[in-house]
Structures are given as structure tokens and as C-alpha cells.
Amino acid sequence: MTTDTERTIIGLTGGIGSGKTAVSDYFAALGIDVIDADVIAHRLTAKGSPVLDVLKAKFGDWVVDTDGNYDRAAMRAYIFDKPNELATLNAIIHPLIFDEITHAISRSQSPYTILSVPLLLEGRHKTPNLLSLCTHLLIVDVPVAVQLERASRRDANAQAQIQAIIDKQISRDERLSLANALGADVVDNTGTLDELHAKLAPLHEHYLAMAKSA
């Protein structure tokens, strides 16, 4: 991870349905800048964007729907078992996301910054490497059964579809093992929203202290 002592960047990650948004919303409500890689990816592929033209040239016109919007579901289905096509997509999108994130970090004015990236640990060996931007990690953890229930309810997808996505991510055991190796904070999010906030409050104070001493 980064050795930059000027900024404190907390990398936030966790499996699908773990509650990363609830965590980032809590910090945002306290005035902490949140940079969300998913939000940036959606903005980059918004209707009429140059990126969509690149994707259409590479994959075909089917990447946009009849309204001209990026058809994420169609792309997700297309690349699901095609590692080479996934690599092609990532080679187009990821450098752009990385650049947007570094620019957003440079503009951040809060004492520390939350960088939310769903596959932060999965991409630790890739270039560009978002993990290298982080000074510390916060991992949201729930059992797989909770992931399945929450994500299927949120996205209106069958649990079999959610399980297939989970299977493409690193396992919970591997995520927790990496958390231990990297000295990450791990917050259990199996309880209520109030219980989650009670666990995050001392972490906020800890991160403020980290930023002050940086």
C-alpha cells in the first residue's frame, strides 16, 4: 500500500451484499469524502460517453440498449465465462477509473478519504493497482448466507445468480486472511444499521487520529 504521508486513504471493500454502501454512507454523513469506484465506472460509461464508443467498436453495438445506455447486464453475461474478453474490458475501463480516482483523491478536502472498491483485494496484483493508493483497509464482513439474502433482495436476482458472482470473488476465508496479513480493520455487519454505526464510530476517531499524525 501507499507510503504517501500527506493523505490518509482508507480502502473500503467487502463481498457483494456485505453492506459497503451503508458503511460509506455513514462516513459521508460525518463529512468524510467518499470516492466510489462503481460510481466512477457508471459515470465513465454514461449515455453518450466516448468510452461507450470504444466499447461498441471493440465488442459490438449490443453493448448499449435501445435507449443508448450501457447494457451492464448484457456485458456481465457476455464476459462471465470469457476471461480474455473480461481482460479486454478491464484494459479499457480500469486505467480510466484509476485516473479518475487519483484526481478525486487530489481534490479531497476531508481529514481522511474513503476509497470504496468492490474488488480491491482481487485486483491487488493488477496494474494499475488501486490497493497501492490506500494507507489502510476497512473490510466489511458477513457470512455468505447473509450475502445471498441481502444481494438477491437488493438486486432482485435469484440466489443462484448471486452465488455465481460470489464464486468469482475471493472467498470469505481468503478475504479475512488477507485482512489479517495487511493489518486491516474488519467490521462485522450481520446486525442492524444502528449496531453497524456503533462499530464504525470508534473507527472514525481512529482514522482521524491517523490522519492527524500522518
Binding residues: 17-22
**Which cell numbers hold the place of 53?**
464508443
Q: Which stretch of DSSP H or E encloses residue 186?
A: strand 185-188
Binding residues for ATP: 17-22
The three cell numbers locating residue 6: 500527506
Q: Are strands 185-188 and 9-14 parallel, antiparallel or unpaired?
A: unpaired
CA distance linking residue 57 with residue 37, whole number of Å: 24
Cell 459490438 -> residue = 60
Q: How far is CA 114 from CA 7, 105, 135, 180, in A?
A: 11, 9, 10, 20
- Note whether 18 and 142 are within 8 A (CB): yes
* Cα 116 off chain centre by: 4
* Calculated CA dihedral for residues 14, 18, 21, 22, nearest 10 degrees: -130
